[in-house]
């Protein structure tokens, strides 16, 4: 199937071909025609599936065909809400790229940077606004945005927004939007909170779902390397050096852990940078740019900071520590093997983490192969220490930190949509197991 057959206009087809895409991804094939028809969408898809183009391309087309493009003073007609600054920046970049040949204007607003330049752009007028909820409300408070003419609302990574405690902000934003509009909701998981939000918000939505990396997983090889905790750093340096990996994304559980590991890798002579919520926006952008350009070989990240990172052809993801929430493992490994490329996800697992590993394998519904690296065999006399199940690393934006003692913590992580759909009894088993945490 080609992009041409999806009914997209010439300017968009041109942008797509300039980007080098030869055919639409499954989510694009499903979502684009439905969105062009004006349907509301409930999309089960995470980053890495091509969902951004899946909603951006038809959104741009609909704005063009609604007639008011380029006439009179511009009003915000499309609003895209995302949980993190990184994702907001990436969605905004996609809007810019795909809309390159159209006379539409867009901008992005997120916290952690000065509000005034954002205000000036908004006051000049934009058709499309990409925003994180908190900063959007700051603009509402300062009267720099008018949301009364929004025709299309996109909630991207809705589950993450709820996990990060944005539900009240989202409700406030929704109250400012016209009742009559097209709404597109994307979420990797469908908890009862998401379903409730969707029920209130969506009008006979079309359900669009694509196989997730963890289920398909044909392009991501997963492996567990059992190792003692105090030898993980050494093993990581060994793996990077002996395999001559050029670009590795490494996950730690805490911001402090990310900083420490990055510093230790530097002392091992491996160029590294840490990316997490306590870093300034400038530092995060620079770390990501250095990583993409190859200046930095290893990017050490916490879960929230890495969410939505769009790095083409990222071949290696390492879980230096397993996440407390099994769901996050799927998000992490979704960073590799994207858009048809091969990827490898390794987990360095010590005896304390075996319970977390079991949770992940239960969610994946299969075991991950174990491979003990010669010279790093775990010491059998070391006993497991209990792991603190609280989310040690809280997400970004310190100013809004208090809100982010997550709803995920209160209700436990939810299984992905395909798991929910499988069977009622399985679902209640998973949920009661999670509630028991």
Nearer Cβ to ligand AMP, position 51 or 105?
51
Nearest-angstrom CA–CA distance, 316 and 228:
21
Q: Are 254 and 302 in contact (CB under 8 A)?
A: yes
Nearer Cβ to ligand AMP, position 138 or 327?
327
Look at residues 156, 146, 207, 136 and name the one whose alpha carbon lies nearest to residue 47.
156
Look at residues 222, 223, 225 and name the one whose alpha carbon lies nearest to residue 376.
225
Nearer Cβ to ligand AMP, position 28 or 414?
28
Nearer Cβ to ligand AMP, position 110 or 320?
110
Nearest-angstrom CA–CA distance, 75 and 95:
16
Cβ 184 to ligand AMP, closest distance in Å? 13
Q: Are 388 and 395 in contact (CB under 8 A)?
A: no
SS (H, E, C) 39-60: CCEEEECCCCCCHHHHHHHHHH
DSSP 316: E
Nearer Cβ to ligand AMP, position 184 or 368?
184
Cβ 50 to ligand AMP, closest distance in Å? 3
Q: Which residues bind ligand AMP (CB under 6 A)?
A: 21, 24-25, 28, 47-53, 310, 312, 338-339
Strands in 343-349's sheet, in edge-to-edge order, are: 220-226, 343-349, 316-319, 248-251, 298-301, 272-275
Sign of the dihedral defined by the CA atoms of residues 100, 130, 139, 146, in that order: positive
Cβ 354 to ligand AMP, closest distance in Å? 32
Cβ 99 to ligand AMP, closest distance in Å? 15
Cβ 333 to ligand AMP, closest distance in Å? 14
- The CB-nearest residue to ligand AMP is 52
Cβ 161 to ligand AMP, closest distance in Å? 16
Nearer Cβ to ligand AMP, position 52 or 407?
52
Structure tokens at 434: 């999670």
């Amino acid at each position: 199937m080609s992009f041409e057959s999806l009914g997209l206009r010439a300017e968009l087809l041109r942008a797509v071909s300039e980007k080098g895409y030869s055919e639409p991804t499954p989510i694009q094939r499903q979502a684009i025609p439905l969105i062009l028809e004006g349907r509301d969408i409930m999309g089960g898809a995470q980053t890495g599936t091509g969902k951004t183009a899946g909603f951006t391309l038809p959104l741009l087309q609909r704005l063009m065909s609604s007639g008011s493009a380029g006439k009179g003073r511009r009003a915000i007609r499309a609003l895209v809400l995302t949980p993190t600054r990184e994702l907001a920046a990436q969605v905004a970049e996609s809007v810019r790229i795909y809309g390159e040949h159209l006379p539409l204007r867009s901008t992005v607003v997120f916290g952690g940077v000065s509000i005034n330049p954002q205000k000036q752009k908004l006051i000049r007028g934009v058709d499309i606004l990409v925003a994180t909820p908190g900063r959007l409300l700051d603009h509402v408070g300062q009267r720099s945005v008018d949301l009364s003419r929004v025709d299309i609302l996109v909630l991207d990574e809705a589950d993450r927004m709820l996990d990060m405690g944005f539900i009240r902000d989202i409700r406030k934003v929704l109250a400012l939007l016209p009742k009559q509009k097209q709404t597109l909701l994307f979420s990797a998981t469908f908890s009862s909170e998401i379903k409730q939000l969707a029920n209130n918000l969506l009008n006979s939505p079309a359900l669009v779902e694509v196989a997730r990396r963890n289920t398909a997983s044909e392009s991501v090889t997963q492996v567990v390397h059992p190792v003692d905790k105090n030898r993980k750093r050494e093993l990581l340096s060994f793996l990077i050096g002996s395999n001559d990996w050029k670009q590795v994304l490494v996950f730690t559980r805490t911001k402090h852990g990310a900083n420490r590991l990055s510093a230790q890798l530097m002392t091992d002579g491996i160029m590294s940078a840490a990316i997490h919520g306590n870093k300034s926006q400038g530092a995060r952008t620079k770390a990501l740019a250095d990583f993409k350009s190859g200046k930095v070989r290893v990017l050490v990240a916490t879960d929230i900071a890495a969410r939505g990172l769009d790095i083409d052809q990222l071949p290696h993801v390492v879980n230096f520590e397993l996440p407390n929430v099994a769901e996050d493992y799927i998000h992490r490994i979704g960073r590799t093997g994207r858009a048809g490329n091969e990827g490898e996800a390794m987990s360095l697992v010590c005896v304390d983490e075996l319970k977390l590993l079991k949770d992940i394998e239960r969610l994946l519904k299969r075991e991950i192969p174990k491979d003990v690296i010669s010279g790093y065999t775990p010491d059998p006399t070391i006993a497991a220490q209990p792991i603190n199940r609280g989310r040690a690393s809280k997400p970004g934006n310190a100013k809004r930190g208090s809100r982010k003692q997550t709803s995920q913590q209160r209700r436990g992580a939810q299984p992905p949509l395909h798991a929910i759909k499988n069977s009622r009894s399985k679902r209640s088993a998973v949920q009661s197991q999670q509630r028991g945490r």
